[in-house]
A and B are shown apart, each in its own frame.
Chain A
């Protein structure tokens, strides 16, 4: 009953004309962002956040979230037509999507991607609606030790899943913790790591780090890997975009597999939609009666990852909205947006700001429908965005980055910091250090330090408080196990290699 009442309240909010408009704007922008290779949703949301400061928080979060899930729809277009993923989560969609296009089924591939995205996106929102309230209720019993343990588990999962090397992910996360310490310590008023700069006394604004590490670094990375793109013809007319009955029938299990896998993986902090889409693809191939068709244009090979990367967005919003724990770079930026609007993401959000929580959830049902209606007939139009030359796009992204940072900080010093973080983000990507753990370390570091210090204040400095409370102890044990998993894997690989060498 609580869910139904909340949802009907949410629809009342989301169906207001201005909120519908923001939802549409977010979906359109998201689709365009997804289509553009070299511009991800994290960068786009970070750049646009300053524009939303003057907006009503409900409208603002509806629009920014629209960009987040809209990008997942758009990403497939580039994968299918160019064999270049529009964003990271669309990599798996290239495998069979582009093969379908090469066989003259580009329209059907785009149609399958849109339908899979709609089915999984809606399925994900239904699950989000159902699981968020009980999780938030459970989290209400959390105190500082539990929060510290929860944040530790979140960061451990991020370290485990982000990038090929957990060691490098851990280092990136720790550097994020360092950045968050810059400025005045709220407990003691001690200035830390300010290097004598008064501009750093208030700390480093999250926006500067996010825009630098995502937007500026993406431009630099794209400049390095500049490739010529050959756009395939996009079929016009809705009839040419609808898949055949046989193709849809082949995809029916892929829709379910992708939806479930995507949502479950999305809930895990750090897992990210590229992981969920590859897992869904692997499951689909594993259980298929015709695994030999995969990689040669199997419709289900496109439907499964597309469904997964859309259901993943709803999954990722569960810990962000109910626990205040973002699972990736984009959700970290959305979380910061909520904080900047004066809201407190976490278990109290549903009670304190029902308009924002339920309005956002309801808008996602509407947004998914909008995206289906927009994407099927308008794909040829959206694909024209790929014709924007890189020499116009890249300076434009750098310009928007500067405007975004200046809008937040109103200082040239911080624009200089932006250039520094851009170079850092680029260097990290080249050296194999993932950016998401740094961002999450930065976002969660402050709360983690506060929770730890409050816990130790409560116990008079006794660290035992972290393991004497059952929930905190359970979460910390889980965090330690998660951090040990790569070591076990490494041990196993070493063991197997040793056996092979001995033989």
Chain B
């Protein structure tokens, strides 16, 4: 039962949100609640911080009470891995963007996504990634005059 509760998504989400609520209340307490001009900067955050804490505890407790009656949910782990893999590749491309610039990091991201996650051939992945990066470069900075992040390499 405890093991199931610890793995339950609502219990985890509720606990994280309760911690966030406590953090907000703690921060809000450092700021003025009411002053000469009326409510201070701590007024509004304190109230929604309290609401977050109470509602997330309600979520956790409500879930724990009904946990026995709920069927065990199955998680599509391959799907989750695919989604998180996509995010990791995207986040990595964002991290290297200050050095490589948009065009290169975007081309790399597209190549890895197409080759690894979509299991396309290296040739298809390479051509698609280069096509996409070139298309973006032609459309945004050249045609629409919209700036793209520039790296240390100057593009």
A-to-B contact residues, CB < 8 Å: 50-51, 167-168, 170-171, 174-175, 177-178, 181, 185, 187-188, 190, 192-193, 216, 219-221, 223-226, 390-392, 394-396, 398-399, 402-403, 406-407, 410, 412, 415-416, 418-419, 422-423, 426, 430-433, 449, 452-453, 456-457, 460-461
Complex: how many Å from CA A390 to CA B144?
25
In the complex, are the beta carbons of B48 and A177 less than 8 A apart? yes
In the complex, are the beta carbons of A403 and B148 less than 8 A apart? yes
In the complex, are the beta carbons of B59 and A406 less than 8 A apart? no
Task: Name 25 A/B residue pairs within 8 A (Cβ), A-sorted.
Answer: A51-B144, A171-B56, A174-B55, A181-B45, A188-B41, A190-B31, A216-B90, A219-B86, A220-B83, A223-B85, A223-B117, A224-B79, A226-B82, A391-B128, A394-B86, A399-B136, A403-B146, A403-B148, A406-B149, A412-B97, A431-B10, A432-B10, A433-B13, A453-B44, A461-B34
Complex: how many Å from CA A460 to CA B32?
16
> A50: which B residues are within 8 A, CB to CB?
146
Complex: how many Å from CA A224 to CA B117?
11
Chain B binding surface SS class: helix
In the complex, are the beta carbons of B37 and A187 less than 8 A apart? yes
> B24: which A residues are within 8 A, CB to CB?
178, 193
> B62: which A residues are within 8 A, CB to CB?
167
Known: A51-B144, A192-B31, A402-B106. A174 touches B136 (CB 8 A): no
> B17: which A residues are within 8 A, CB to CB?
171, 175
In the complex, are the beta carbons of A407 and B132 less than 8 A apart? no
Closest to A446 in B: B44
- Per a CB cutoff under 8 Å, which of A193, A394, A407, A453 touches B38? A453
- What's the least CB distance linking A500 to chain B, in Å? 15
Mark contacts of B72-84 with chain A using CB atoms, 8 A cut-off: 1 yes-contact digit, 0 otherwise: 0000100110111
- What's the least CB distance linking B40 to chain A, in Å? 6
- Per a CB cutoff under 8 Å, which of A51, A219, A453 touches B43? A453
In the complex, are the beta carbons of A390 and B118 less than 8 A apart? yes
In the complex, are the beta carbons of A415 and B52 less than 8 A apart? no
> B49: which A residues are within 8 A, CB to CB?
178
In the complex, are the beta carbons of A175 and B20 less than 8 A apart? yes
- What's the least CB distance linking A194 to chain B, in Å? 10
Known: A170-B55, A412-B97. A391 touches B48 (CB 8 A): no
In the complex, are the beta carbons of A224 and B76 less than 8 A apart? yes
- What's the least CB distance linking B119 to chain A, in Å? 9
Complex: how many Å from CA A174 to CA B86?
28
In the complex, are the beta carbons of A174 and B113 less than 8 A apart? no
In the complex, are the beta carbons of B52 and A171 less than 8 A apart? yes
> Does B122 belong to the interface (CB within 8 Å)?
no
Known: A167-B62, A220-B83, A395-B114. A403 touches B136 (CB 8 A): yes
In the complex, are the beta carbons of A51 and B132 less than 8 A apart? no
> A225: which B residues are within 8 A, CB to CB?
79
Mark contacts of B114-149 with chain A using CB atoms, 8 A cut-off: 1 yes-contact digit, 0 otherwise: 100110100010001100100010001000101111
In the complex, are the beta carbons of A407 and B147 less than 8 A apart? yes
Known: A167-B59, A395-B110, A403-B146. A178 touches B91 (CB 8 A): no
> A171: which B residues are within 8 A, CB to CB?
17, 52, 55-56, 59
> A391: which B residues are within 8 A, CB to CB?
113-114, 118, 120, 124, 128
> B40: which A residues are within 8 A, CB to CB?
187-188, 190
Complex: how many Å from CA A277 to CA B84?
33
Most buried by B among A167, A403, A456: A403
In the complex, are the beta carbons of A461 and B39 less than 8 A apart? yes
- What's the least CB distance linking B64 to chain A, in Å? 14
In the complex, are the beta carbons of A178 and B106 less than 8 A apart? no
